[in-house]
Amino acid sequence: MKKHTPNKTSSHELLIKTFTEKATLKNEIYHNTLKAFKQLKAELKQMSLDLKKEIHQHSKDILVEYKEQGEFMVELKFAGDVLIFVMHTNIFHFEKDHYIWKQSYIEKDNSRSYCGVINVYNFLADSFKYNRINDAGYMVARLFVNKENHYFVEGKRQLGYLYNDFPNAVIDRSAVRAIVESAILYSLSFDLLTPPYDAVKELSVQDMNDASQYLNMKTGKRVGFRFQTDDDMHL
């Protein structure tokens, strides 16, 4: 009796097919996300020029500055805040309890759920100016882009509900500009509050003698503080 052996050719073909399809999909999404990030850079650069021109009509002391920190990171500094935009180079999927799985757009084509991501963080400008390495920033939003250039945003306040039409919304420069403007408005909406007195009432002589150590006392809008009128503690 002839011994049964697995169909190696079929298994190999399945392997190649799966590998090729997945690699092609992720490569396409990567390039879509990179294109969106380049659009973001262009809009940020133009916005910094526009804002600087308009704001300096009122005060030349208010800083507005655009700065690239490499291919995948860029920052926009305005007044006392900095928004940092970082494109992740990997492609992501979502946990099964994520709300996108309830959309018919995803049910019809599961590959639409794979996305590239651009994260948006807010820091205090002085944290970088004075090299306060212990200071904290926080995520304002994250922008997801899929194989069809459709996008949605997870974020705080208006960033979490204005940009969530994943089945229909296509990323372009006008969409990018609107997202950036919302991120700026959100960041400007909250002031740095004084920490509780008991949290800072003691300071050593060494701390006072070491000016840099004193400046490195942890500061941030969220860590050790709370946002004024901000009771939304999660994305």
CA–centroid distance for 36 within its chain: 13
Residue 226, pLDDT score: 36
pLDDT per position as a tens digit, 104-157: 999 999 999 999 999 999 999 988 888 888 788 889 999 999 999 999 999 987
Stretch 189-205: mean pLDDT, rounded? 68
> Is residue 194 scored above 80 in pLDDT?
no
In the structure, what pLDDT confidence band is assigned to residue 170 with cuts at 50, 70 and 90? very high
